[in-house]
Amino acid sequence: MKRVGVLPGFGLTFGFTVLWLSALVLIPLSLLFFRAASLNLREFLDVVLDPRAVASYRVTLFCSLAAAIVNAIAGPIVAWTLIRVHFPGRKLLDAVVDLPFALPTAVSGIALTAVYAKNGILGSKLAAIGIPVAFTPLGIIVALTFIGLPFVVRTMQPAIEDLDPTVEEAASILGASKWQIFRRIIVPALLPSLLTGFALAFARALGEYGSVIFISGNMPLKTEVTALLIVTKLEQFDYAGATAIGAVQLAASFVLLFAINGLQWWSARRTEGTNA
C-alpha cells in the first residue's frame, strides 16, 4: 500500500526548498571558502593574523560582546514594561522597538553620529565631562546596542507573556519575598529566552557594517571593525584577502548559530520537563 504523505506535494515543496536555500545560502557561502582556499596555508595565516586584522577582530568582538551585555540588561526591562505595565502610548513604544529592523543601518549610523558627535545634542554634554562617544569604541557599542535591542526584546516578550502572574501571587501569599520570587520563579523561567536573545544580538553585532562606519571613525588598529576591513580589501581588489577574513567571520557565525540552536533545544527540553 502506497504511503501518503502528510503534506500534499511534499516532494515538490521539499525540492524547491533545498534548491532555494542552496542558491541563496549554501552555494555562495561554500564559494567563499573555496575562494579563500586559493591561498596556501602560509598566505592564509599571514592575512588573517595580520596585526590590522587581529585588531579588527578584537574591536569587533569586544564591542559586540559589550553591546550584547547591555541589551541583555536593558532588553528584559523593556520587554517586561511592555507586557506587564499598562500606560498611555504603550503600543507606540512597542512599535518603536522594531525601528532598527525597518531603518536602513546607514541612516541609523548617520543619526547616531549626529547625536553623539562632540557638537551633537548628547555628545557635547558627554564630551564636556570627558566621555567622548563618536569615533571611539564607545560609539561602536552604542550603534551595536541600537541594532541589537529588538532581538532581545522580541525574544523575551513571549516568555514573559507565558509567565503566569498567579504563580508569583501564590508565592507572595506563602511568604516569599520579592527577591525570592525574582530569583526562584522569574529568572529560571526567562533565562533560556534571555540567553537566546543575547546570542542573537551578539551574532547580529558581529556582522554589522552600516550603522558602525560613520560613528566609529574607521581608524585602523583602533576603531576599525572586521566588516569594514573586508570592504576595504575589496576596494583594493584584494579578493583573496577579503574572502580569507570573511571565512574567519563566517566560521565565527557558524559557532554562534550552533550555540543559538543549542540554547533553543535546551529551552525546549527545559519547558517540556517543567510541564511534565
Residues above pLDDT 70, as percent of the chain: 92
d(C-alpha 109, C-alpha 20), whole Å: 32
Would 116 be classed as within a structural domain? Answer: yes
What are the φ/ψ torsions at residue 179 (nearest 5 degrees)?
-65, -40
Q: Band of the pLDDT at 37, cuts 50, 70, 90?
A: confident
Would 252 be classed as within a structural domain? Answer: no
Quote the pLDDT of residue 52.
92
Would 70 be classed as within a structural domain? Answer: yes
Q: What is the mean pLDDT of residues 50-58?
A: 93
Q: What is the mean pLDDT of residues 26-49?
A: 81
Q: Which of 95, 74, 92, 94 is nearest to 83 (CA)?
A: 94
Q: What is the mean pLDDT of residues 167-180?
A: 84
Q: Tell me the pLDDT of the chain averaged across its residues.
A: 85
- Within 13 Å and on the Cβ side, how many CA atoms surround 141? 15
Q: What is the mean pLDDT of residues 246-260?
A: 81
Is residue 102 predicted with pLDDT exceeding 90? no
Q: What is the mean pLDDT of residues 130-147?
A: 92
Would 230 be classed as within a structural domain? Answer: no
Q: Band of the pLDDT at 276, cuts 50, 70, 90?
A: low
Would 212 be classed as within a structural domain? Answer: yes
Quote the pLDDT of residue 77.
93
Quote the pLDDT of residue 10.
63
Lowest mean pLDDT among 9-23, 111-125, 197-211: 9-23
Is residue 79 predicted with pLDDT exceeding 90? yes
Domains identified in the chain, total number: 1
Would 33 be classed as within a structural domain? Answer: no
Quote the pLDDT of residue 272.
62
Higher local confidence (pLDDT), 33 or 45: 45
Cβ atoms of residues 58 and 137 within 8 Å: no
Would 189 be classed as within a structural domain? Answer: yes
Find the CATH number of the domain harbouring 71: 1.10.3720.10
- Give residue 178's domain range: 59-223
Higher local confidence (pLDDT), 70 or 19: 70
Would 250 be classed as within a structural domain? Answer: no
Lowest mean pLDDT among 16-20, 98-102, 156-160: 16-20
Quote the pLDDT of residue 3.
56
Quote the pLDDT of residue 87.
85
* Reported pTM: 0.83
Higher local confidence (pLDDT), 268 or 94: 94
Q: Evaluate the CA torsion angle 203, 209, 213, 214 in order and state its sign.
A: negative
Reduced to 3 states (helix: H, G, I; strand: E, B; else coil), residue 174 is coil
Q: Band of the pLDDT at 252, cuts 50, 70, 90?
A: confident
Q: What is the mean pLDDT of residues 229-242?
A: 88
